[in-house]
Amino acid sequence: MSRQSTGGGWRRLLGWDRHPAHEHHDRWWEETRRRLLPAYIEDTIESAIPPEEVTKIAVRLRYLIEECIPCEMEEEVITRSHSQVITKGVVQAAREAGGEDYGDCVVYCLLICKRWFSHQAKVELWDATMHLVRATACEVIAKLIIESEDNTEYLMHSILLKRYSILVDNEPTLPSNVIEKAVDLHALRVIGSSGYQKCISYLWKGWLVQDENDPASFVDYKDRDNTSFIAHLDPDRMRSPMYQNAAQVLFSIMYLVLFTIAINTINRNGDLDGVEIILYIFTFGFIFDEIAKLWKAGYYILGFWDAFNGVLYSLLIVSLVMRFIAFSKAPSEDPLVKGPREQFNELSYNFLAVSAPMFWVRLLLYLDSFRFFGAMLVVLKVMMKESVIFFALLIVILIGFLQAFIGLDIAEDLELSDVTFIVQAMANAIMQSPDFDGFEQFGHPFGIILYYCFTFIVMVVLLNILIALYNSAYEDIYDNADDEYLALFAHKTMQFVRAPDENVFIPPLNLIEVFCLALPLEWWMSKRNYERINDIVMAILYSPLLLIAAYFETRAAYEILSNRQRGDEDDDTVEEWEQLDVNGNGVDFEQDGWKKTVEQIKPNVEDELAVVEVRQLRAEVAELKQLLEALVKKPDAGTSAKETAGEEGSSAATTTTTT
């Protein structure tokens, strides 16, 4: 097979020979990826292996997968255990693609190949199924390589956390590691592997932290096994995702409590009390944090929750503005009559009350680290994406029928007089409460006919389509709920560690950082002194959390030491069935003969039953063939002996006669 037939040559393999629109999309994607890290990191970060070598390894792996999957096939053939396509030989060949020197980046290169195949599936729809299966094969091989690595230190520091880059348009991309790349590509099989989750767990707990001198690399937390309580009272421990998430949940609950008190203690005179002042201080802190993220990373990071929070904060700001307007008005002299001050004050509380449901829903954003809420949010997220089809169809149909009803209204009265009635009736139909009586005399008989058609399309067709889409989305997520939750958890972890601040001030404490530290001190103070002041301020602000964290980390240190004495991993847990071994009363399966018994009766799960039977039959046929060959050889040997004896006798007689 020629190189062109397998992918279009090197330029096509690397994505250099493509449509300008695709090139623009890829460049946009690379630009957005670059901005995930702060500028000071972009200038210092480098690939652990030369980008050209990483690209060559990725091309080798792409060729391997193309040869192993030359045509369309079912995805189950690739993903099932002991696959006949992704065999041990294929996995070993993939592992050796990097040679002796560059084997660390094989898993990263497999993820790059997955991105290539996924992109190719979008631009070559006639072969989309084959390319998607190849992309799946990349994930399967990467997962098998990760799970077959026994050296945990090498796995996490070299394979998963080292940063690599490839060449695109002869320029190296921003280096990234396997942890980040799997989250970006939503590679569920890689994310669900045991080694990947162990690394995520270490990052979440803060056992793997970013180097102070090189934030792009990760090092082990040196005091992980330190049993001293004082050693863990370090403000830098707040950079751990686990503690940041705990602080965010705490502040979110406090935010909700403040709102509940404020909405249930209305000040009729329009004054701001202490609870409302703290509530709006919290709001300004959250708004400032959203603006800072937008400023650092760009508009493309905006998602559903950012838009949701934006609406909530906008309602609160409007409520505050209404309160300030009320301050500017004089109070009413008559207590029975509402003056401008009382009206604006009431309007302020109305905006505050409308935001109540959003306050409670917002709490889910910070509870997604718990499995129940995390899985539920994944389902809701997919359902919202699926509903885009419904709303697109609904908008087109709404515009069409609205224009028809407005045309009938103008034709009947020569002016728009029933717009409110038309819009309300159409909204009622969408909410499954149509009003047919109002259309009986509206443009008779066209109005009632159009309204019947609109009601049928919306209530029977579109709503059933929406139900079917929701059902399909729920089934897809439910069948893969565990991996989806692990992907969500990995994404949340990477949000904390991908582009961290040197000093962690969680909103609303970020207002203290900006207005009490950065603006008055950072521009003139030396870096060493400024960092020392930041540590002191963080130690004071987070002192309750640091005391609790130090207590749990001290307990964890004793468990780590105990695990190391047994030769286990630091995060190992002794289960009930392992307690006998820990106490020295373990069962020796080999000595009591149980291992031999199990070896004799355990089934062969690597091969199918038909294959096992065929192999057994071939062995019996080979044995029978040997027996037949042995029987055939015995008569031939007897005949040969008689002929030899006869020839010797004739020769002796001839010699005697001659004599």
DSSP 141-175: HHHHHHHH---HHHIIIIIISS-B--EETTEEPPP
CB-based contact 494:204 (threshold 8 Å): no
CB atoms within 10 A of CB 349: 18
Kindly tell me if the per-residue pLDDT of 28 is higher than 50.
no
CB atoms within 10 A of CB 358: 16
Residue type, 192: G
- pLDDT for 636 equals 61
Six-digit token pair at 165?
């880059």
CB-based contact 149:195 (threshold 8 Å): yes
Q: Over the range 59-88, which residues count as b (16 or more CB within 10 Å of their CB) and which as e?
A: bbbbbbbbebbeeeeeeeebbeeeeeebee
- pLDDT for 637 equals 56
Give me Rg for the CA atoms of the chain: 36
- pLDDT for 647 equals 53
Give tens-digit pLDDT for 416-450.
667 888 888 888 888 888 878 777 777 778 888 88
φ and ψ at residue 168, rounded to 5 degrees:
-130, 120
- How is residue 516 annotated by DSSP? I
Six-digit token pair at 376?
């539920």
Six-digit token pair at 79?
């993903």
Separation CA 578–CA 573 (nearest Å): 9
- pLDDT for 293 equals 81
Vertex 568: Cα angle to 567 and 569 (nearest 5): 130
Closest of 144, 147, 145 to residue 80, by C-alpha:
144
The arithmetic mean of pLDDT across residues 474-488, rounded, is 81
pLDDT band for 3, please (50, 70, 90 cuts). Answer: very low
Six-digit token pair at 658?
């001659």
Closest of 485, 493, 502 to residue 160, by C-alpha:
493
Give tens-digit pLDDT for 377-399.
887 877 887 788 888 888 999 99
> Whole-structure pTM over 0.75, yes or no?
yes
Greatest distance between any 2 Cα atoms in the chain? 165
Strands 171-172 and 208-210, how do they pair?
unpaired
Q: What are the residues whose beta carbons fall under 8 Å from the beta carbon of 326, sequence distance 6 or more?
A: 270, 340, 341, 342, 344, 345, 348
- pLDDT for 372 equals 80
Strand segments (E) across 144-295: 167-168, 171-172, 208-210, 218-220
The arithmetic mean of pLDDT across residues 82-103, rounded, is 89
* Residue carrying structure tokens 């000595």: 591
- Residue % of the chain over a pLDDT of 70: 86
Is pLDDT larger for residue 655 or for residue 194? Answer: 194
- pLDDT for 285 equals 93
- pLDDT for 563 equals 85
Give tens-digit pLDDT for 484-530.
889 989 988 988 886 555 678 888 998 998 888 888 888 888 888 88
The arithmetic mean of pLDDT across residues 353-365, rounded, is 89
Separation CA 154–CA 152 (nearest Å): 5
Is pLDDT larger for residue 156 or for residue 588? Answer: 156
- How is residue 330 annotated by DSSP? P
Kindly tell me if the per-residue pLDDT of 132 is higher than 90.
yes
Separation CA 16–CA 116 (nearest Å): 12
- pLDDT for 44 equals 60
Query: Is 226 exposed, middle or buried (CB count within 10 Å of its CB: 0-12, 13-18, 19+)?
Result: middle
